[in-house]
Structure 1
Amino acid sequence: MVVDDSAVIRGLLTRSLEGDPEVKVVASVANGQMAINTLQRQTIDVIVLDIEMPVLDGLSALPHLLNVDPHVKIVMASTLTAKNADISLRALKAGAADYIPKPSSTRELTSADDFKRELTEKVKALGMAARKADPRKGQPAAAPATPGASPIPRPAPVGNVAPTTSFTLATPIRPKPEPGPVTLRPLPDFRPDILAIGSSTGGPQALFEVLSHLKDVKQPILITQHMPATFTTILAEHITRQCGVQCAEAKEGEVIVGGRAYVAPGDFHMLVVQKNGQNCLTLTKDPPENFCRPAVDPMLRSIVRAYGKRVLVTILTGMGHDGQRGSEVVVQAGGAVLGQDEPSSVVWGMPGAVANAGLCSAVLPLKEIGPYIRKIALRQAA
């Protein structure tokens, strides 16, 4: 379901999603109240929810939508401002699965191919996650048992029901085949000199949970979260306030200091380089990797060049496989990789890629990752 107060934007988003034969858009509505009413009548996997709308805005509608269907996946959509970035992060803490920054004008949206690709990929990945969480999703409605029998009633709509526009396509989302069992590597017997974290879809919520356990570690923490500029600034501020870890966006040329966390700025790869015998950060506009900038893979490769084997990497929830190639380099150098497990991931793409490649020393539920990292980080030096 697409929820936006602009009929033009709703049409553009719908056409973008309908360009993929595996996506079915079932409703297009103009505000949060209409979205609640529609969700009470229809089974929906994913909602693309605008933030600023009349009657009921996206942030206010979010808890009501999740109350109607706890398994629905909600993508917050907003223009790229500091205010909307802050609201998006608050929405993620309140249960939204992901966010996407909208181009600031209809003209930009019409020609924004990267936005359309990202939107479609997120909807498909979250749709599959929703159906795994609730197998009833995606199933055809049961026919009445006997002639004249009534179907199972759905909850009554809230308030006045406004009309919706429906769209249908023939092909449902096809789930990927289940992977085989995960093979774990022995955990190296060392205390790491640096901690690195990669994340994407669902990453901010996961980062808050993990980092809340790391406020007293002495190692620097490098974080690449797939996010645009402005959003990464706000993310670093939220980490500092919520987790007690001193965190900021990385700055060109700054010396890496233990006990601090650095977030790769949106649209820049964050790399480690050595200058005058010190490990420093540098920011590059090198081409995107895995369709991402910032990307996890170049960060990990640069960390190994600077720190050698004493590297502990954690790959959290996210779409795609960014971090797998870089984790291979870490493991070959003698470092260690941890992965988030599938049940606690919003999307088990990135952690699933490193786990299924046999690169992980542990694959853990989200709640166990922070304490596990802390235990390793505080080991006595070998």
Structure 2
Amino acid sequence: MIVDDSAVIRGLLTRALESDPQISIAASVQNGKIAVSTLERQKVDVVVLDIEMPVMDGMTALPLIIKTQPGVKVIMASTLTLKNAEISMQALQAGAADYIPKPTSTGSISTAGDFKRELTEKVKALGLAARGGTQAPVAVPAQTTASDTVVAKPVSAKRPIQLRPMPTMIPDIIAIGSSTGGPQALFEVMKSLSGKVTQPILITQHMPATFTKLLAEHISRVSGMTCNEATDGEAIVGGQAYVAPGDYHMVLEAEGGNKVIRLTQDPPENFCRPSVDPMLRSLSKIYGPKLLVIILTGMGSDGQRGSEVVTAAGGAVVAQDEATSVVWGMPGAVASDGLCSAVLPLKEIGPQVLKLVMRSAA
């Protein structure tokens, strides 16, 4: 269902979405009040919800939509202003699954390939999640034989995940990658780690520039940990977190005794900039087996190739499980590829990380 007060925008969004044969528009309405009324009579998987509308705006409608149809996935759509970015961040905390910044002109909605691709992919991924997803691997404990081969115990008809042994080396740095549903997951993990880890934390979340600065501010607010949008050339400090700015890859370089952040506009990877993969490659080169990676909810497979490099160097990867992920794309990719030492519910990730990074104090 599309909810926008502009008939022109509704029409353009409808044509963009219906160009994909896997998507059909159940309803197209002009404000939140009509949206809620429509949902009382008609089942939908995904709602694309505008923020600024007369009668009932998007933020007012959001909790009513979720209450009317529990399980429905809501994508907030807005023009990319600082005010709307802040409202979108609040909407994510209030239960929205994702957001998408609308192009600045109506013409670019129908002609901008990147916007059309992002919109259709998000709608399809969230629609699949709303319907319960697909058959996915099941994480099961691994056994280590005398030859150090990891064998997964088959416990269901689903293909089991092969888990790697957890490395014994204490990590010197933590890297987190996330996308769809990522802000909510990041808030949960960072609250668990705040004030308890001495390692620096580098975060790549798929977001445009206006959003990443706000994301860092929200992480600081909800966790109490110092978290900033990264700047080029700054040396990382233990116990602090750094968010990759929108439209820049964030990588790390060793300069003398310091580890320095570099921001690049190298080509997008996995259709993303920032992308998780370049961050992981750069960190693995410096830290080797002393790198701990966390892959949280998100569509696509960004982080998979980087995690291959990480595990080859002896580092560890922990992924969010399917049940607690908004979209089990990124974590599912690393889990299914046998790159993880643990696949956990969201609320167990922080405590598990603390066990790993605080073993030296035990």
Aligned to 1:19: 19
Q: CA deviation at 1:21?
A: 0.2
- The reply on whether 1:309 has 2:289 as its aligned counterpart is yes
Q: How does 1:176-195 map to 2 (within 5 A)?
A: 176-179=134-137, 180-195=159-174
CA distance in 2 between counterparts of 1:276 and 1:361 reads: 32
Q: Provide the C-alpha distance between the structure 2 equivalents of 1:80 and 1:29, rounded to a whole number of angstroms.
A: 22
Among 196, 203, 214, which residue is 1:223 paired with?
203
* Deviation at residue 381 of structure 1 after TM alignment: 7.1
| Superposition CA RMSD, Å | 1.2
Q: Tell me the CA shift for residue 276 of structure 1.
A: 2.5
**Secondary structure of 2:65's partner?**
helix
Shift in Å at residue 307 of structure 1?
1.6
Distance 2:354 2:269 in 1: 30
**Contact kept? 2:16, 2:110, Cα under 8 Å:** no
1:254 matched residue in structure 2: 234
Please give the alpha-carbon distance, in whole angstroms, between the structure 2 residues aligned to 1:278 and 1:91. 38
Which aligned pairs between 1:98-177 and structure 2 lie closer than 5 A? 98-132=98-132, 176-177=134-135
Structure 1 contact 272–302 (Cα < 8 Å) conserved: yes
Counterpart CA distance in 2 for 1:301 and 1:83 is 35
Q: Which residue in 1 is equivalent to 2:150?
A: none
Match of 2:247 in 1: 267
| Alignment CA distance shift 1:50-1:313 (3 Å) | same
Residues 169 and 289 in structure 2, CA contact (< 8 A), matched pair in contact too: no
CA distance in structure 2 between the partners assigned to 1:92 and 1:197 by the alignment: 19
Is the 2:190–2:223 Cα contact (8 Å) retained in structure 1? Answer: yes
Any runs of at least 4 consecutive aligned residues in structure 1 with deviations exceeding 6 A, and if so which?
none
3-state DSSP of counterpart to 2:193? coil
In structure 2, the partner of 1:198 is: 177
How far apart are the structure 2 equivalents of 1:375 and 1:234?
A: 30
Residue 191 of structure 2 is matched in structure 1 by 212
Where does residue 37 of structure 2 map in the other structure?
37
In structure 1, give the amino acid aligned to 2:186: L
Match 1:295 to one of 275, 293, 316: 275
SS at structure 1 position matched to 2:39: helix
Equivalent residues in 2 for 1:352-363 (5 A)? Answer: 352-363=332-343
Kindly state the Cα deviation for residue 378 of structure 1 after the two structures are TM-superposed.
1.5
Q: Is the 8 A contact 2:110 2:116 kept in 1?
A: no
Deviation sequence 1:148-192 (CA, Å, 0-9, x none): xxxxxxxxxxxxxxxxxxxxxxxxxxx655441111100000110
Q: Partners of 2:297 and 2:221 in 1: how far apart?
A: 22
Q: Distance in 1 between matches of 2:278 and 2:263?
A: 11
- Counterparts of 1:379 and 1:256 in 2: how far apart (Å)? 23
Deviations 1:66-122 (CA, angstroms, capped at 9, x unpaired): 110111000000111111111111111111110111112213323211011000000
| Matched letter for residue 333 of structure 2 | A
Mapped to 2, the partners of 1:338 and 1:178 lie a distance apart of 17
Please say if 1:350 is aligned against 2:330.
yes
- d(CA) in 2 for partners of 1:291, 1:14: 23
Taking the aligned partners of 1:194 and 1:185, their CA distance within structure 2 comes to: 20
What is the match of residue 163 of structure 1? none
> Secondary structure of 1:118's partner?
helix
Q: 2:266 aligns with which of 286, 290, 299?
A: 286
Percent identity over paired residues:
67
Query: Where does the alignment leave 5 or more consecutive residues of structure 2 unmatched?
Result: 138-158
* Letter paired with 1:271: V
Letter of the structure 2 residue corresponding to residue 187 of structure 1: M
CA distance in 2, matches of 1:272, 1:298: 9
Q: How many residues align?
A: 340
Query: What is the TM-score normalised by the length of structure 1?
Result: 0.87
The corresponding residue for 1:241 is: 221
Task: Name the counterpart of 2:149.
Answer: none
Q: Which has the higher contact order (CA 8 A, sep 6+)?
A: 1
Alignment partner, residue 320 of structure 1: 300
Q: Distance in 1 between matches of 2:361 and 2:225?
A: 22
Secondary structure of 1:301's counterpart equals helix
1:134-157 Cα offsets, whole Å, 9 max, x none, are xxxxxxxxxxxxxxxxxxxxxxxx
| Correspondences of 1:321-336 after superposition (within 5 Å) | 321-336=301-316
Unaligned runs of 5+ in 1: 133-174
- 1:190/1:381 contact within 8 Å kept: no
Query: Could you tell me which residue of structure 1 aligns to residue 96 of structure 2?
Result: 96
Contact in 2 for aligned 1:191/1:381 (Cα 8 Å): no
What secondary structure does 2:44 align onto?
coil
Question: What secondary structure is seen at the aligned counterpart in 1 of 2:160?
Answer: coil
Question: What letter is aligned with 1:246?
Answer: T
Q: Which stretch of the first structure deviates more once superposed, 175-184 or 331-340?
A: 175-184
For 1:54, the equivalent position in structure 2 comes to 54
Q: In 2, are the aligned partners of 1:252 and 1:282 still within 8 Å (CA)? A: yes
1:75 maps to amino acid: I
Counterparts of 1:110 and 1:44, CA distance in 2:
24
Kindly indicate whether the alpha-carbon contact (under 8 Å) linking 2:204 and 2:244 is maintained by their aligned counterparts in 1.
yes
